[in-house]
Chains A and B, each alone.
Chain A
């Protein structure tokens, strides 16, 4: 008889099942409420530092003033962000009721700010003064899982023409 072996095997199966279902959700929960806000805080600090000198980005097709432009170059910066499992789950429930879906707004807004900040940093790094005609483009990335297209992230691209006076 395997009477005394069965409870242990049962317990092991239970533990593995728990490990496969509960642990990722716990990780996701921690990531959503601790890891993501900490990353956003760092981004805010970078943005604040850049804002001291005035924003280098603009969507105008011509720069202000009559200063002579010595050099131009097109620069771009992009980022791929994805909502966490918890955010996807909350978003799924919220979309039943309609209206603004806060969790997705947050992720996309974060990605957009990150892309713009990267462009600002790139401009400073390459020694240009300003970016004109900046455009932002958004793309959904999908993966096929089980014959179904699932959203795996959103790509934000910020690009513009950098100019040097």
Chain B
């Protein structure tokens, strides 16, 4: 993974303290991830007791960062310096894999 482009992103409609001068359209980033078999077995045991399953929490966090990173790269490629109204969507694909999607509007802000 390369270093993330230095963009401001926010899930509000404007970036507080900045004015948006130009909208560059919707940018998206997504990734589909599955955990490995060993973590799956560990999680199955943790399922007996209930409560937090750390392996899955970490996996989803990692993949969400990856999706966000791809979205920011997309925005940087369009010449934006900020992304506003960022939203997340997660769906569980069959076979224990999850798709994580991050999307937002790329803008030029000053």
Contact = CB atoms under 8 A, between A and B. Distances in A.
A157 B63 CA distance: 13
Nearest to B57: A80
A132 B40 CA distance: 36
Contacts of A153: 43, 47, 53, 56
A137 interface: yes
A152 B90 contact: no
Contact of B11 (A74, A107, A111): A74
Q: Is the interface of A mostly helix, strand, loop or mixed?
A: strand
B11 A135 contact: yes
Interface string A109-148: 0010010000000000000000011010101111110000
Q: Is the interface of B mostly helix, strand, loop or mixed?
A: mixed
Contact of B52 (A24, A63, A80): A80
What is the size category of the interface that chain B forms with chain A? 35 or more
Contacts of A133: 10-12
Contacts of B3: none
A81 B60 CA distance: 12
Interface of A: 24, 27-28, 31-32, 35-36, 39, 61-63, 68-70, 72, 74, 76, 78-87, 107, 111, 114, 132-133, 135, 137, 139-144, 149, 152-153, 155, 157, 159-161, 163
Interface of B: 8-13, 15-17, 40, 43-44, 46-54, 56-57, 60-61, 64, 86-92, 94-96, 98
